Structure 1
Amino acid sequence: MTPDVQTLYDVVEGTWPPATVTSLDDWLIRDGQGGGKRVSSATARGPVTADKLAEAEIAMQALDQPALFMIREGDSALDGLLAERGYVIVDPVNIYLAPIADLARPTPRTSTFAIWEPLAIQLDIWAAGGIGPGRINVMRRAEAPKTSIFGRADNRAAATAFCAIHAGIAMVHALEVSPESRRKNMGRYVMQAAATWAASHGATHMSVVCTQANTGANALYTSLGMTLAGQYHYRQKA
C-alpha cells in the first residue's frame, strides 16, 4: 500500500529527529539545537485559535529559537492565522516517494559505499555544502537502521548522503555532491545505493524531501521516477 502524506510526515520526524519534543495542550515544540528548521519548528496538535499562538511563541523563545511553525496538509486555518499575524512563508518543501524496487539498482563498481559512521571526508563534503555539526548530530540521534552513503568519482570523494528507515519507509537526507563531481550522475548513484541498502533492511518505499527552490534536486528525484506525495512549508515572522 502506498504511504499517505501523514505517514510521510512521521517518517520525516522519525528519520531526522529533534533533540527533544515538548507536548503542550495545542502544540508540539521541537528543540533542534542547531539542526535546521525541520527539527526546530512547532506543529499544531489540532485546531488552534489566535489566543493559543502566544503559548507556542513563548515556548520557542525559551529554547532560544525563533518562532517557526511547520504547516502541513490540514493546517490551512493555522496558515491563514499566521499570515494575519505577519508570519511569511519560508522554504516550501516537496516530499517525493517511490517503491523501493524502482530505485534499488546496481551502481558502477567502487562508486558508492554504505557506511556508518561517516568518514571525515564525508563530513568535509557536508560542511562545504552548509551541513554543519548541528545537522550531523541529528543523524547521530536517528535510530537504526541508518547509514550514510559515500560516493566516489574519478577516484576521489564526490558525494555523501544520510539514509534512515522508519515504519518500513526509507528517507534520504542531506544529499550533497561536491561541485567538481556534479553532472557525473553521482546524485543518481547515491540514491540508488541508498535504495539498495534500504531494501536489504526491509524497506518497501524510498522517500526524500527538498525545498521547491532546489531545482536541481527536484529534477533528480523526478528523473528517478519518484512522484510528488505531499508538501509542507514554514511560517516565520518577517
Structure 2
Amino acid sequence: MITPGAFYAAIDGTWPAAEIMCAGPWTIRNGQGGGKRVSAATAEEPVVDLTQAEDAMRAIGQSPLFMVRQGEEALDRLLDTNGYTVVDPTNGYIAPVDKLTDVPIPRVTAFAIWEPLAIMEDIWAKGGIGPARLAIMHRAKTKTAILARHNDKPAGTAFAAIHDGIAMVHAVEVLPHQRRRGVAQWIMRRAAFWAAENGASHIAVLTTAANTPANALYQGLGFTHLCGYHYRTAPENT
C-alpha cells in the first residue's frame, strides 16, 4: 500500500530540485527558476516559527514559499496568521500500473523516448514549460518522456520518472488543437506500460484542484485520490 509519505517522497525523487538543504526542522529546496514544486519549503516536524525557513530561502534568492501537505493543519494556521496566501490546491492521484495497461496502445499513437525530441520541447514551450523545467527532467534518474500523435501529427508530450516503485507523470501538455481527442489518455497509458517495464508497481500524477478536465481524466482512468497539498506564498508576493 502506498502511503501519502511515499507519495510526497516520489514528488521529490521524480521532479528533483537543484539542491535540497536542511535548516533546522525545514527542508529548503533551491528550484533555480523551475517553479513552485522544486522551490517550496516543507516542515519535517511541528514548527512554531517561520523565520529560519524564510531566512534560508531569501539567502538563495527565493521569496518565501511553503508547501502544506495533508495533515499539516497547524502549519497552515501558522502561515495564515503570518499573512501567507493559499495558492494552487493540488490533488495527488495514484493507481496500480495494471489499471492502465489493460488496453493495447494503437500503433504510432504514443512512444516512450529519452532524450526528448525538439518537437517535444516545442510542445512544452507552448505550455510554458521552458529550460528551467527541462533541467529538472534531466536531473531525475530513471526517466522517460512520452510523445503522443494524433492523425499522424505530434499532439502532446509528458515526462515520467520512477522513485521507489512509483512512476510519477509530470508536465503533461497537449497542443490546443489536439485536445478532447483522447491524447492525454494515451500518454498516461504509454507511461504506465513504460513504468511496468521498468519495475514500478504504481503510477501517480498531480493536478490542481481547479483543473476540472484533468481531474475527470485521471478519475476516469481509475486513479484514486491519495493525498494533496497547497502552497502558501509570502505576503510580499500578494
TM-score, normalised via structure 2 length = 0.96
Secondary structure (helix, strand or coil) at the match of 2:92 reads strand
1:60 paired with 2:57, answer yes
Task: Please name the residue that 2:187 is paired with.
Answer: 190
Measured in 1, the distance between the counterparts of 2:37 and 2:165 equals 21
Report deviation, 1:169: 0.8
Task: Please name the residue that 1:30 is paired with.
Answer: 29
1:47 paired with 2:38, answer no
Task: Please name the residue that 2:107 is paired with.
Answer: 109
Secondary structure (helix, strand or coil) at the match of 1:159 reads strand
Measured in 1, the distance between the counterparts of 2:211 and 2:123 equals 18
Counterpart pick for 1:131 among 121, 129, 132? 129
Measured in 1, the distance between the counterparts of 2:221 and 2:16 equals 26
Measured in 1, the distance between the counterparts of 2:23 and 2:104 equals 47
Task: Please name the residue that 2:85 is paired with.
Answer: 88
Q: Return 5+ residue gaps in structure 1 as ranges.
A: none
Report deviation, 1:153: 0.8
Extract structure 1 runs of 4+ deviating beyond 3 A: none
1:236 partner letter: T
Report deviation, 1:107: 1.3
Q: CA RMSD in A?
A: 0.8
Measured in 2, the distance between the counterparts of 1:147 and 1:89 equals 32
Report deviation, 1:60: 0.7
Aligned length, in residue pairs: 234
Report deviation, 1:24: 1.4
Q: Return 5+ residue gaps in structure 2 as ranges.
A: none
1:171 paired with 2:172, answer no
Report deviation, 1:110: 0.3
Secondary structure (helix, strand or coil) at the match of 1:47 reads coil
Report deviation, 1:98: 0.6
TM-score, normalised via structure 1 length = 0.96
Counterpart pick for 1:155 among 152, 155, 175? 152
Percent of residue pairs identical? 53
Measured in 2, the distance between the counterparts of 1:133 and 1:106 equals 33
